[in-house]
Amino acid sequence: MTQPESNGGGHVLPTPAEHLSSPRTRAVLRVQQRLLAAAREYLVGEQGCMELLPPIIGPVTDPGARGAKQVDIDYYGRTYKLMTSGILYKQAALLGFDRIVNVAPNVRLEPLETASTRRHLAEFHQLDVEIAHASRDEVMDLAEGLLKHVVRAVVDDRAAELELLSRDVAALKEVVNGGFDRRRHADVVAQVRAGGYEQSPDAEIDWHAEASVSEQAVRPFFITDYPKGSRGFYDRESETEPGVLRNFDLIVPEGYGEIASGSEREWDYRRIMTRLRETGENPAKYDWYLDMVRAGIPASAGFGIGVERLTRYLTGVDEVWQASAFPKVPGVFSA
Ligand code: AMP
Ligand code: MG
C-alpha cells in the first residue's frame, strides 16, 4: 500500500486507493490546497483580479503546445478540441474585465518519451493570469510577488506537511530573500554552450539545459526574449528587435526547472494573421477569435503557472504525477 517514490519512467502508477491513502499524497495535496488559496488571496484579494471559470472545449485551442497532440471531440457533428491552454479565452476575457485569473484544466497528449522527464502530465492545470495594458515587466513583477506570497503561506501554514515530506525548507525560504534575476534567452544559451552543451539558439531551452541552469540557481529567475518560432503566434514580437519575443519563462531552482511561461500578447489583427501563417496555422479555423480581434481587443500581458509543477517544487516530490490526486502520465493507462 505504499506509494512508490518513483514510477520508473512513468510506467506504473498506484491505484487511486493506494495513492490517496498515502500520508505523503495527503500532505502534498494539503500543500496544493494552501497554494491555491494563497494564489487567490494575492491575485483576487490584493491585485484585484477577477476569477472566471475557464472553458474546457472549443472550436480551436492553443496550437503552441509543441510536440503534444490535441484531443478532438465530436461536438454535435463538428470537431471541437479539449483545451491545451486557455490563451485565446484569456484574451477574450479582457473584453469583460481588465485583470483576470482562472484555474484551468489542460489536456495535452505529450510525446511518450516525456513519461520519463518527471515533469510532464497528459492532464494538468494552469493558474492563468492576464492583465490588460500591462507590460511584460509588470506581469513578471506580478508573478514574482505571487510566488513569494505562495511560498510564505505554505512555509507558514504547512510546516508539518513539509516536514513529513522531508522538504528542505531553508532552500524554499531563499525565494523570499531577494529579487528574481532576469536573463535573456541568448545569454542563457551562450552560458550553456560555454559549458559544452549544444543548445540551439533558435529553440526553447531544452530539458537537459533547463535542469542544469535550474540546479545552479538558488532563487527563482526569469528567462526572457525567446526567439520567434519557439513559441505560439500570440506572444508579441519586439518592435525594436524583430525575431525576438516579448516573453518569459519562470525557472525555479534545485533542478525543478520551468514552472511558468508568459508574454506580452499580439493584439493587432494583421500581425496576428501574419504570425498565424508563419506558424503554419490555417486562419480559417480561428474564425471566432479573428472576428473578435478584428473588432478590437486590448493589449495585454499574462502568464500561466503549472499548478502540479509548482506543487512539486513546493513539496520536493520526485515526480510531477505525485502532485496530482488523479494523475495522467503520458502513455500510462491509469484511472
Ligand atoms: P506552457 O505555456 O506550454 O509553457 O505551459 C505553461 C505552464 O504549464 C508550464 O510552465 C508548466 O508549468 C505547465 N505545463 C505545461 N505543460 C505541462 C505538462 N505536460 N505537464 C505538467 N505541466 C505542464
Ligand atoms: Mg513553457
What is the per-residue pLDDT for 4? 43
At 266, phi and psi to the nearest 5? -70, 140
Count the domains in the chain: 1
- What the block records as the C-alpha cell of 172 is 524554499
Measured by CA distance, the residue closest to atom 13 of ligand 1 is: 306
Alpha-carbon distance 81 to 76, whole Å? 13
Q: Rounded to the nearest whole angstrom, what is the distance from the C-alpha of residue 134 to the centroid of ligand 2?
A: 20
pLDDT of residue 11: 65
- pLDDT of 5 reads 40
Q: Whose CA is nearest to atom 10 of ligand 1?
A: 260
Cα dihedral sign for 187, 192, 194, 198? negative
The total of other beta-carbon atoms located within 10 Å of residue 159's CB is: 12
What single letter denotes the amino acid at residue 215? E
CA 296 to chain centroid, in Å, comes to 27
Q: With CA atoms as reference, report the closest residue to 281 among 268, 293, 290.
A: 290
Does a structural domain hold residue 312? yes
Q: Which residues contact 247 (CB under 8 A, 6 or more apart)?
A: 136, 224, 225, 226, 231, 235, 236, 261, 262, 263, 264
Mutate to test the pocket of ligand 1, among 87, 113, 124, 249 (most ligand atoms within 8 A of CB): 124
**Closest atom of ligand 1 to CA, residue 110:** 19
Mutate to test the pocket of ligand 1, among 70, 83, 106, 210 (most ligand atoms within 8 A of CB): 106
124 lines ligand 1 (CB under 6 A): yes
Tell me the CA–centroid distance for residue 270 and ligand 2, in Å.
25
CA distance 251 to 233: 22
| Unique residue bearing C-alpha cell 528587435 | 241
DSSP string computed for 169-224: HHHHHGGGGSPPEEEEHHHHHHHHHHTT----TTSPPPHHHHHHHHHH-SS-EEEE
- The set of cell numbers assigned to 207 is 530539458
Report CA(266)–ligand 1 centroid distance (Å): 20
Does residue 301 sit within a domain? yes
Residue ranges in the chain whose pLDDT is less than 50: 1-8, 10
Q: Is residue 2 part of a domain?
A: no
Task: Answer yes or no: is the C-beta of 81 below 6 A from any ligand 1 atom.
Answer: no
Q: Which ligand is nearest to the CA of 64?
A: 1
Q: What CATH number is given to the structural domain containing 274?
A: 3.30.930.10
Distances (CA, A) of 101 to 90, 98, 298, 314, 330: 8, 10, 16, 21, 27
Nearest-10 crossing angle of helices 307-315, 136-157: 50
Q: Which residue has the cell 510546516?
A: 159
E strands in 135-292? 181-184, 221-224, 247-252, 257-264
Residue 280 lies in a domain: yes
Instruction: Supply the pLDDT for residue 12.
Output: 83
Closest residue CA from atom 4 of ligand 1: 261
What length is written for the chain?
335
Q: Cα(21)–Cα(15) distance, rounded to whole angstroms?
A: 10
Atom in ligand 1 nearest the alpha carbon of residue 120: 20
Which range of residues forms the domain containing residue 316? 13-333
Residue 318 region, left (φ>0) first, then alpha (ψ -120 to 50), else beta?
alpha
8 within some domain: no
Cell numbers describing residue 34: 494552501
Q: Does the beta carbon of 14 sit less than 6 angstroms from any atom of ligand 1?
A: no
Asked, for residue 158, whether it belongs to a domain, the answer is yes
- Residue 78, by phi and psi: left (phi above 0), alpha (psi -120 to 50) or beta? beta
C-alpha 199 chain-centroid distance:
22
Whole-model pTM: value is 0.96
Report if residue 326 sits inside a domain.
yes
Instruction: Give domain status of residue 213, yes or no.
Output: yes
CA 226 / ligand 2 centre spacing (Å): 11
- Edge-to-edge strands of the sheet including 300-306? 50-51, 99-107, 123-132, 300-306, 257-264, 247-252, 221-224, 181-184
- The pLDDT score that the predictor gives to residue 66 is 80
